[in-house]
Amino acid sequence: MEEIVYYIAVFGTIAFAISGALHAMNQRFDPFGVFIIGFATAVGGGTVRDVLLGQPVFWLVDPIYIYVIIAGSILAIVFRTRLNHLRKTLLFFDTIGLGLYTIIGVQIGLNAELDYVSCVALGTLTGSFGGVLRDILINQIPVIFKKEIYATVSILGGSIYILLQSLNVPNIYQQLIPSILIIVVRFLIIYFKVSLPTIYRN
Amino acid sequence: MEEIVYYIAVFGTIAFAISGALHAMNQRFDPFGVFIIGFATAVGGGTVRDVLLGQPVFWLVDPIYIYVIIAGSILAIVFRTRLNHLRKTLLFFDTIGLGLYTIIGVQIGLNAELDYVSCVALGTLTGSFGGVLRDILINQIPVIFKKEIYATVSILGGSIYILLQSLNVPNIYQQLIPSILIIVVRFLIIYFKVSLPTIYRN
Amino acid sequence: MEEIVYYIAVFGTIAFAISGALHAMNQRFDPFGVFIIGFATAVGGGTVRDVLLGQPVFWLVDPIYIYVIIAGSILAIVFRTRLNHLRKTLLFFDTIGLGLYTIIGVQIGLNAELDYVSCVALGTLTGSFGGVLRDILINQIPVIFKKEIYATVSILGGSIYILLQSLNVPNIYQQLIPSILIIVVRFLIIYFKVSLPTIYRN
C-alpha cells in the first residue's frame, strides 16, 4: 500500500504541476515563471504540512518530486494548446491529487499523534494549499474562497478516514474509501454545479 | 498567571476570528472562505512565531483553538449585521489580542534564550502577523504598512516587558503593565488619529 | 573564508534592505512599512531556507541582521532622493547579494546532506525569495516571474559550485568562481537586455 501511495503521489504531483503551469501560461509568464508556479502548485500543500510540523520538507529530502515537476512543466509548455482543451483531464488528475494528498496529510498527522481535528485540518491543508499558493502568486483571490467547495470535500474525506480507522476497518479500505469518496463527490459537485449555501441576501 | 494568559489567549483568538470573518464577508466570501480568513487572522501570528523557531505550531498541538475559531466564525455569520455596528467592540478585542499575543511572543523568545531584540521582533510578529495574512489573502495591501502604527505599539510594549523583567519587577506586573500599555496606547492612537510622521513632502 | 562570507552576507543584507525600502517608499508606505519591506527583502530568502529545513531562522539566532536592516532602512529614508539616482549602485549590491546568498544556500544544503538538485533549489530560493516576498507584500506580480531571468542565473551558479566541489577544486575557488559568475552574467543580461525565449506567438 505504502508503495502504491508513493507512485500515485508522484502521479498527483505531475498533474498539479501541469495545472499550475497552464495557469501561469494564461498569465503569459516566462518559462521559469511557468515552472515556479507549477512547482508551487504541486508542492505547496505538502510543504505547508511539513513546515507546520517543524520538519524538513518532503521535496528537499526526496528530490524525485523536483524532477517530476520539471517534467510536468515541460509537458505543459510543449502541449500547451492541446492541454487547454483537455481541462477535464486536468481536473481529473487534480481531483485525484486532492483525494490522495488529503489522506496522506491525515496519516502524517496521526503518525505525529495529533488530535483528530488537527489531523483533518492537516489533511485539508495538504490537499488544498497548492491551489491557494498558485492563486496568490498570480495575484488573484484564491478560487477556494470564492467559488468551489473544494476544501469542504477534503474535510469530509479526512473525517471519514479517521472514522474508518477508529472502527478498525481493514487498512486498504481505510485509505481507498475516503480517497474515492473525495474524488466522486467532487466530480458530482462540479457536474451539478453545487456550491455552499450563500449567506448574503442578494 | 499561566492559566489566565491561556484563557485570555483563547478569548483573543475568538476576537481575531470574528474580525477576520467580518472582513471576509465584506468581500462576499462563501462560508468556508469566511472560516479560512477568520482562521488565518486568529492563528497567523502564532503560526509564524512557531515556524520561525522550527517547532510544531500551537494550534496543531492544542486543537482547542480550531474549535474556538469555528465558533467565532459561526458567531460572525449569525450576528453579521449587528457586529458590523459593533466595530468598536471588535477593535477592543483585537487590541486586547495584540497586547497579549505580543507578550506571549516575547516570553516564548526568552524561553528559547534568544537575544532581546529577537524577542521583541518575535512578539511583534506574533501580535501583528494575523492581520497582515488576512489582508494578503483578501488581496489588499496590508493595512499595517499604510495607515496604522499597530506594530510600533507592539514593539514598544515588548521592549517594556523585557525592561521590567531585567529590573526584576514582580512577575504579574511584568506581563500586566506592557499588555495594558499596548491596549491603552493603541486606543489613544485611534481616538486621536495619530499616525507616524510622513516622510513625503506632499 | 567563513569570516569573509559572514561579512559579505551582512553587506548583502544592507543592500537588500535598501532595495526593499526604496520600493516601499515608491509606494508611499509609512516609515514602519518601509522597514518591514526592507526587512522582508533582506531576510526573505534565508528565512525560507531555514524554514524548509525545519530549523530556527538565522536572524532570530543572530540579531546582527536586524540591526543591519534597521540601519539600511534609515539610510534609504535619509538618502531617499540620491539613492533613486543610484539605482545602478543598488543593482550592484543586489546582484552581489544574489551571488553570495545562492552559494550560502547551496552550502547549507550540502551540510544537511541533501541531494545535489535539492541543494541548487535551496540556493536559488535563498538568493531570490527576498525579491519575491517584497513584490507580494507590495501587491505586485513578482518581477521574477515576468521580466528577469534572475533565478536562472542563480541555478547556473549553484550548479557550477556543486560541480567544482565534486571536482575537488581548492576551497576558495569553489565559492569565488560561481559567485563572480552569477554577478557578471547577471550584469551582462541586464546590459544586453537578454530575456528567456518567449513561448508565446505574439
Position A43 scores a pLDDT of: 93
Asked if residue C55 has pLDDT above 80, the reply is yes
pLDDT at A8: 67
Asked if residue C200 belongs to a domain, the reply is no
Concatenating the DSSP letter of every residue in C161-181 gives HHHHHHTT--HHHHHHHHHHH
Tell me, what's the ipTM? 0.77
Nearest CA distance, B85 vs chain C (angstrom): 29
C186 to chain A, minimum CA–CA distance in Å?
A: 16
* B153: closest chain C residue by CA: C32
Q: Is the pLDDT of residue B147 over 60?
A: no
Look up the domain containing A44 and give its range: 2-191
* Least confident interval from B112-121, B153-162, C179-188: C179-188
Q: CA of C21, closest CA in chain B: separation in Å?
A: 12
pLDDT for residue A60? 93
- Tell whether A197 is covered by a domain: no
**φ, ψ of residue A87 in degrees (nearest 5):** -45, -35
Nearest by CB: A118 against B28, B50, B60: B60
Say if CB B38 and CB B24 are below 8 A apart.
Answer: yes
- Mean pLDDT of the region B100-127: 90
Give the least confident one: B75-79, B136-140, C127-131: B136-140
pLDDT at site A175: 79
Q: Do the domain assignments include residue B200?
A: no
Cβ-nearest to B63 among A115, A145, A146: A115
Sign of CA dihedral B124, B130, B135, B136: positive
B36 inside domain: yes
Contacts of A147 in chain B (CB under 8 A): 30
Residue A201 counted as domain residue = no
Confirm or reject contact between A140 and chain B (CB < 8 A). yes
A122 and B60 within 8 Å at the Cβ level: the answer is yes
Contact state of A145 with B24 under an 8 Å Cβ cutoff = yes
Chain C residues with CB-CB distance to B114 below 8 A: 60-61, 63
Please give chain A's pLDDT, 202 residues, in tens.
566 667 767 877 887 888 888 888 888 887 878 888 999 999 999 999 999 999 999 999 988 999 999 999 998 888 877 766 666 666 776 777 788 888 889 988 998 899 999 999 999 989 888 888 887 777 666 666 555 567 788 888 999 999 998 888 887 788 788 888 888 888 888 777 666 666 665 5
CA–CA distance, A158 with B81 (Å, rounded to integer): 34
Chain C closest CA to A119's CA: distance in Å?
A: 20
Residue percentage of chain B with pLDDT more than 70: 82
Residue C197 lies in a domain: no
* Tens-digit pLDDT profile for residues C133-145: 887 777 666 666 5
A185 is a domain residue: yes
pLDDT score for A145: 57
Provide the whole-model pTM. 0.82
Find out whether C48 and C123 touch, Cβ atoms under 8 Å.
Answer: no
C143 touches chain A (CB under 8 A): no
Sequence-distant (≥ 6) Cβ neighbours of residue A148 within 8 angstroms: A189, A195
Q: What is the mean pLDDT of chain B?
A: 82
Considering only CB atoms, which chain C residues are within 8 Å of B152? Answer: 32
What mean pLDDT, rounded, does chain C reach? 82
CB pairs under 8 A between B and C: 73
Domain for residue A133, yes or no? yes
Q: What's the rounded Cα separation, in Å, for the pair A153 and A138?
A: 25
Nearest to A13 by CA among A54, A64, A50: A64
- Find the mean pLDDT for residues B8-14: 79
- For B19-73, the pLDDT digits (tens) are 888 888 888 887 878 888 999 999 999 999 999 999 999 999 988 999 999 999 9
Q: How far apart are CA A179 and CA A193, in angstroms?
A: 21
C152: which chain A residues are within 8 Å (Cβ-Cβ)? Answer: 32
Question: How many structural domains are present in chain C?
Answer: 1
